[in-house]
Structure 1
Amino acid sequence: MTMLVWAELRALARNVTFLLVTIGLPVVFFLVMSEVFGDMDIRGIDMSRYMMLSMAAFGAMSVSIAVGTRVGRERLAGWNRQLRLTPLPGWSYVVSKVIVALALVLPTTLLIFLAGLALKGVSLTAGQWLGATLAVWLGALPFGVIGLAIGLSVRPDSADGLGVAVYLPLAMLGGLWVPVEILPGFMATFAKVLPSYWLAENARQHLISGSPGLAGPLVVLTWFLALAAVVATLYRRDTSRL
C-alpha cells in the first residue's frame, strides 16, 4: 500500500493541470474574495482571516474529491482489475486513496495560509495556526470518501465531471464563497447540515473560542462513517463484476 501511495503521489506531482486547478485556484479565489467583502467583520473575524479559512476548506474539499474521482479513470484503464490480481487487499486500495487525498490537502492548506500571511498580513497565534490546519486537514476526510463514491458508482468517463458538479454546490451552499451569516435564514440553516460548512467552521472556531467543541467534529465524523459504509458497498459491488 505504501508503494501504491507513493506511486500515485509521484504521478499527481507530474500532473501540472491537476495541481494548478486543485491547489492553485483556491489561492486565487482567496485573494479575490477577501477583496470583494472588504472590511466586513463577522463574529470578530475580519474578512481576510475569514476567507482564508473558507478557501482553505474549499481547496481541501476540491483536492480530496478530485483524488477520489480518479478511480473512474483507473476503472476505465483496467488498473483496478490489475491490482486485484496482486496480493494487495481491497481495503488497502481504498485506504490508499484517502491517504493520498490527505497528503495533498496539507500543502493546499499551507499554501493558502502562506498567501494569507504574506499577501494579506493575516496574523494568528501559533496555536490558532496549528488548530486551524488540523481542523481543515482532518475535516477533509469525508470529501475523499465522497470522491471515491463518485468514482465507483458512475460511468468511469463521467466521474471527474460529476465530482466538479458535487463540490461546487457544496462550496456555495456550505457558505465557503459567501459567509453563512449573510445568507437567507433557510439557506443558513441548510448549510449547517453539510460537511463543507463544518470543514471551515471547525477551523474558524479556533479563532473565536480556541476550540471547535464537539458538534462540528461529530458532524464531520458522522458524514465520514456514513460515506465510508457506502464506499465499502460500492467497492464490493464493483469487485463482483470482475
Structure 2
Amino acid sequence: MSTAAILHPTTTNSVRIYRKEARYEFVKLLRTRSFSLATIGFPVMFYVLFGIVNKHSYEGGVHIAKYMLAGYACFGLIGSALFGIGVGLSSDLAAGWLELKRSSPMPVAAYLFAKCAAAVAFGLIIVSILTLIGISFGDVHLSPSELFKMLGLTIVGSICFASMGLLIALLVPANAAPGIINLIYLPMSYLSGLWVPIQFMPRWLQHFAPVLPTYHLSQLMLSIFHYGDSMSLITHWNALIGFTLLMLGISSLIFHRKEQNA
C-alpha cells in the first residue's frame, strides 16, 4: 500500500476504521468490570428498590413504576456517558494514549466517535434492561411508539452528556475524575427528580431543578408517557441543545489552548 493511500484513506477504509475503533472501545468497557457492572448495576438496583416495589402505586393518576422508569433510564444513560468518556478519556490523556493515537494515520475524530458510540451503546443496554424489568415485574405497559421514542431519546441524551464528559476529561486529572463526576452526577440526578418524583421534593428545590440539564432530559423522557411538566417541549429541547453546545464550545477552547501550550 502506498504512503498516499495511508495518509488519505478511502471512504470505505474510513468507515472501517470508525467501526473497528467503536467496537474495540465498547469491548474494552464491557471487559472493565468496575465500569460495566457498576454502570449497569446501579440504575437497575435503584429501579428495583424504588420503582418495582411501587408497581401498584399511583399518585394523581401517575403510575409510579412507569414514572420512575423514565427517571432511572436518564440516570443510567447519563452515568454511562459521564464515566465512559469523562473517566476513560481522562485516563487516556494521562497515559499519553491519545498522543499515540494522533501520531498514527487514524483520524482523531474516530477516537472521539468510538468513545461516544460506546456511551450510546451502554445507554441503550441500560434502558433496555430497565424497560424489560419494568414490563416483567413492575406492571409497566409501553406501546411500540413509546419504546421507540425512549430508545431514540437515549441516543440523544447520551450524546448530550458525552459533551459534558469530554469537558470534565479535559479539566480534571485522571485520578480525581471518578470522584469529581460523582460530586456532579449524583446531586444533579437527585435535584432533577431522577430518583424520586420531583413533586415529592421541597418546593424551593422544584424551582431550582429547571436550571439543570438533567431535569430537561428527564422531562423529555417523561413526556413520552404524558407525565411531563407544564413547560413546552421546545423549551426542554432548547435547554438540552444549548447545554451541549456550551460544553462542546468550552471543550474546544480548552483543547486548542492545550495544543498551543504543548
* TM-score normalized by the length of structure 1: 0.91
In 2 relative to 1, CA 43–220 (structure 1 residues): closer, same or farther, beyond 3 Å? Answer: farther
Could you tell me how far 1:241 is from its partner in structure 2?
4.4
Extract unaligned runs of 5+ from structure 2: 1-17
Q: What residue in structure 1 maps to residue 204 of structure 2? A: 186
Q: What RMSD over aligned residues (CA atoms) do the two structures have, in Å?
A: 2.1
Does structure 1 retain, via aligned residues, the 8 Å contact 2:216–2:240?
yes
Could you tell me how far 1:172 is from its partner in structure 2?
1.0
Taking every aligned residue pair, what percent have the same amino acid on both sides? 26
Structure 2: how far apart are the matches of 1:112 and 1:136? 12
Q: What residue in structure 1 maps to residue 12 of structure 2? A: none
Q: What residue in structure 2 maps to residue 232 of structure 1? A: 252
Could you tell me how far 1:39 is from its partner in structure 2?
5.3
Q: Which of 73, 84, 91 pairs up with 2:91?
A: 73
Q: Is the counterpart of residue 6 in structure 1 residue 26 in structure 2? A: no
Could you tell me how far 1:142 is from its partner in structure 2?
2.2
| AA of the residue aligned to 1:41 | Y
Structure 2: how far apart are the matches of 1:74 and 1:201? 34
Greater radius of gyration (CA): 2
Aligned positions, number: 241
Structure 2: how far apart are the matches of 1:154 and 1:194? 21
Q: What residue in structure 2 maps to residue 87 of structure 1? A: 105
Q: Which of 206, 225, 229 pairs up with 1:207?
A: 225
Q: What residue in structure 2 maps to residue 100 of structure 1? A: 118
Could you tell me how far 1:191 is from its partner in structure 2?
0.8
Q: What residue in structure 1 maps to residue 70 of structure 2? A: 53
Q: What residue in structure 1 maps to residue 3 of structure 2? A: none
Structure 2: how far apart are the matches of 1:140 and 1:77? 25
| AA of the residue aligned to 1:196 | T
In 2 relative to 1, CA 39–184 (structure 1 residues): closer, same or farther, beyond 3 Å? Answer: farther
Structure 2: how far apart are the matches of 1:108 and 1:181? 25
In 2 relative to 1, CA 40–198 (structure 1 residues): closer, same or farther, beyond 3 Å? Answer: farther
Could you tell me how far 1:192 is from its partner in structure 2?
1.4
| AA of the residue aligned to 1:26 | P
Q: Is the counterpart of residue 218 in structure 1 residue 238 in structure 2? A: yes
Does structure 1 retain, via aligned residues, the 8 Å contact 2:191–2:209?
yes
